[in-house]
Amino acid sequence: MADRVLVIGSGGREHALAWKLAQSPHIKHVYVAPGNAGTADNGKISNSAVSVSNHAALAQFCRDQEIKLVVVGPEAPLAAGIVDDLTAAGVRCFGPTAKAAQLESSKSFTKAFLDRHGIPTARWKSFTDTKAACDFINSANFPALVVKASGLAAGKGVVVASNKQEACKAVTEIMQDKTFGTAGETVVVEELLEGEEVSCLCFTDGITIAPMPPAQDHKRLMDGDEGPNTGGMGAYSPAPQISKDLLQKIRDTVLQKTVDGMRKEGVPYFGVLYAGLMITKDGPKVLEFNCRFGDPECQVILPLLKSDLYEVMQAVINKKLSSSMPAWFEDSAAVTVVMASEGYPGTYPKGLEITGLPKAKQLGLEVFHAGTALKDGKVVTSGGRVLTVTAIKEDLMTALQEANKGVAAIHFKGAIYRKDIGYRAIAFLRQSRGLTYKNSGVDIAAGNTLVQKIKPLAAATSRSGCNAELGGFAGLFDLKAAGYKDPILVSGTDGVGTKLKIAQVCRKHDTIGQDLVAMCVNDILAQGAEPLFFLDYFACGKLEVEVAQGVIAGIAEACKKAGCALLGGETAEMPGMYPPGEYDLAGFAVGAVERGEMLPQLERIADGDVVIGVASSGVHSNGYSLVRKIVEKSSFDFSSPVGVSGDQTLGDLLLTPTKIYSKTLLPVLRSGHVKAYAHITGGGLLENIPRVLPESFGVVLDALTWKIPEIFCWLHKEGDLSEEEMTRTFNCGIGAVLVVQKEMAQQVLKDVQKHETAWLIGKVVPLQKGSDHVKVHNLLRALQANRSLSVRSHIQGKIQSNKVKVAVLISGTGTNLEALINSTKKPNSFAQIVLVVSNKAGVEGLRKAERAGIPTRVIDHKLYESRTEFDSAVDKVLEEFSVELICLAGFMRILSGPFVKKWEGKILNIHPSLLPSFKGANAHKLVLQAGVRVTGCTVHFVAEEVDAGAIIFQEAVPVKIGDTVETLSERVKEAEHRAFPAALQLVASGAVQVGEAGKISWK
């Protein structure tokens, strides 16, 4: 059901707010109090004469008119406590409380707050005495030339003086002559900052911030920034002078710190926070805060908002902004030009007729009314700033040209306006600036920072022969100093594979470095070599210093465990090669072995030699593409708890680092009793042991002789893997094997068991022609014997004995039907598909259901005169099968209102975008046209409005360069096959349901 909204205010900002809110399908009507000529009977928008100063009467109006939200435009009502009073009366409001609004209503409060929380601002001092203020101006060791009335002065209470005399004059006029009334009882004297002024606004729910595109206002009355200060003569957005990096800095050091600071002081801030900033040579500094949209900034920012403004405001009030972040039109620019009355900002005439408004509209422009009124059916002037003419185009220069055309088309006597709005941005864009490495995506400074952070980590790995100092062109190693007489150098290189994907998903980067080192040093042990030094290669699309530092810290720690020096490495930042948040690793180990001690000693290996198995720590670093596919197809994810206590996640278990064997096994390998050593790496048991055997020999292993870690048993069962797949892909609990003479087997085993878990697991046998090099007996029995790992999904509690009965409605192949069937077939499923209904006969989806043994029904919509009749027939069949939940899987019919109402909170649908963005048909096409970098899929409850029901589950999918609708669609489908079953389990378990006002409720 559509809602009614009330906007408080009468300016161009409020017209823009009403205009944007009226675009929401959730809104039936927007009232504006008191409004202006532009908001009077304009489609879904109309004015109200209700008093905005009498909060009790206003609250009663909201109850009488069933107003669902009040949006406060100007600052004065906020400072007067309108949000506090209406909220206390049960009326939902968008905007901060009076206490939070002190950030705007008291400049002395704001300056002290900024100092308390270390937020950069100009040096300052506040005064209630004229003489003291002037003494400060004359004695300050900085240019104290900015004088501000501490209270609210309608955006005009600031004087930027050109000298000390002028500043003192401003103090006198504000404090003694009461130029700005009671607002000037306290003045703030500030340092005059130099730089570019910019406005950075954000939505906030008191915790999360959602920045808006930066804008720049033009305060001076005339072109070239001449004339007196005004409330604003125009604005543009986005401001190209503000780079993405600078915007991120503003977000972190100003906006987020302000919201966090208010929350810490017990005054949470909700609504729009506006930071007026000066971009100085020392970085951004706060000039002022506003506690609402700026005017005229609002008129250029809201046209760039792609999302539903009403939905964003509701997310703010519900403290759910993090899950409903607004989207913006990134390839557009907006310019607004203010038309003001003659005499403004001083006295000006009123009641002058305005003509040409329809012509401006025909030019495709938005004209937001400010100081206008209706008189005898005509639009007339009634204020200083009369209109704002806004153009939205693909670039700033075009937008300014179009806005100026609109201004030229509109006439009223004595109209004044600027023709150079955005001139700073245009000058910036016209500058001939050479490209830099940084704006190409490579941050050398970040790389240097990383090197400084990891230097002590590398130095800690120094050993005899090497001091491990980073920074040179190459590293040196002295073999003589390490004690070698006649050494053979041995090298190895490896990576970590797609185990990295799990580390990145789990945001756990501290153990993956050990995997990298282990994979290399364990390999060179096969030659009997001691690892001497190690080099790493870290590649990424964008260098995140903290992440890289965590990875390399793990590498350094692992080098110490292996006894080798971290001699150097390479950090490669390659924009476009890797998506944000992803990185790749490679490692290089060099070791040495005395010439007469090299392994394997093939000529010594004989029939009857014993195979000793050394325990692995788990999956180590091979087979993770299969591991990830098994997890993907299961009902679990990497955050699912494992074990009885559930204090470890599946991701943690799979990220158990690879064991490093060099220090523990090297003395045994050098004893002369070991004929061969094999690292069980990629290729598993089947392919690695033959690498250290003569062609004429193989091995026979007995899986019952060693303990197989539970994770392998779970992977075997969950993936339905064959014995050959297990032994060819995984180590199955054996990280390394030693081949020894039978008579020495017990002695060598004891030596190994001093430091590692190990077993006698098999023997060497002559290889018969055509037979396998490695035979593993009793693997299935061993896997079953160790199958005790408990992996639980997020849905806690016992599996229900009576599963929720589900019907799936289809129209064709039944997109996602197979994924739903597979997930509900699992023993831990909370749901069971009892029926598949199609409105078309003979489609593939019906055959899928029949193959799975699920009853089907065809209800042809063409046989019914109306949607309601068709839905009634469907409803009857659903009752016949006692259906409790409905999933729409490629169902191409729009359900009727009565049907949706009856099944409210019981119908699930999936949409191929991250709602609320890109609703309706052609979502992939819209995504590509908008140029966004991330899309995905959304499972939601079905409401009467299309794609507007409460969101249950979302999965993001990156948009790749060169994507077409077809390629993007395929990747989103893969995400759908995971998301829809996951959402069904959440709802069927009772973990998620529809609560009050159609919102999601989690149990």
Dihedral sign computed on CA atoms, order 160, 164, 170, 175: positive
Residue 703 phi, psi (nearest 5):
-65, -15
Helix, coil or strand: residue 719: helix
Residue 742 token pair? 């039978």
Closest CA to 327 of 309, 314, 342: 309
Q: Which residues contact 299 (CB under 8 A, 6 or more apart)?
A: 12, 13, 16, 235, 334, 336, 366, 368, 388, 390
Between CA 461 and CA 470, with CA 464 as vertex, the angle to 5 degrees is 45
Spatial separation of the C-alpha atoms in residues 90 and 92, rounded to whole Å: 7
For 506, what's the count of Cα atoms within 13 Å in the CB-facing half-sphere?
24
**Proportion of the chain in helix, strand, coil states, percent, rounded to 5:** 35, 25, 40
Residue 399 phi, psi (nearest 5):
-60, -40
Q: Are 678 and 609 in contact (CB under 8 A)?
A: no
Q: By CB neighbour count within 10 A (0-12 exposed, 13-18 middle, 19+ buried), where does 58 fall? A: buried
Cα 816 from chain centroid (whole Å): 26
Residue 13 token pair? 């900002």
Element (H, E) at 348: none
Spatial separation of the C-alpha atoms in residues 709 and 730, rounded to whole Å: 11
Cis peptide before 238 (omega within 30 of 0): yes
Spatial separation of the C-alpha atoms in residues 689 and 686, rounded to whole Å: 7
Write the DSSP string, 828-839. T-SEEEEEEEES
Closest CA to 212 of 305, 292, 324: 305
Pairing mode of beta strands 934-941, 907-911: antiparallel
Residue 734 token pair? 């054996």
Residue type, 1002: W
Write the DSSP string, 608-669. TPEEEEEEPSSSTTS-HHHHHHHHHHSS--TTSEETTT--EEHHHHHTPPPP--HHHHHHHH
For 483, what's the count of Cα atoms within 13 Å in the CB-facing half-sphere?
5
Q: Which residues contact 112 (CB under 8 A, 6 or more apart)?
A: none
Residue 478 token pair? 């002295």
Closest CA to 283 of 119, 116, 117, 111: 119
Q: By CB neighbour count within 10 A (0-12 exposed, 13-18 middle, 19+ buried), where does 596 fall? A: exposed
Dihedral sign computed on CA atoms, order 125, 128, 132, 135: positive
Residue numbers annotated as active site: 911
Residue 698 phi, psi (nearest 5):
-135, -175
Which DSSP letter does residue 69 get?
Answer: E
Spatial separation of the C-alpha atoms in residues 963 and 616, rounded to whole Å: 42
Q: Tokens 């993956």, residue?
A: 512
Spatial separation of the C-alpha atoms in residues 529 and 522, rounded to whole Å: 10
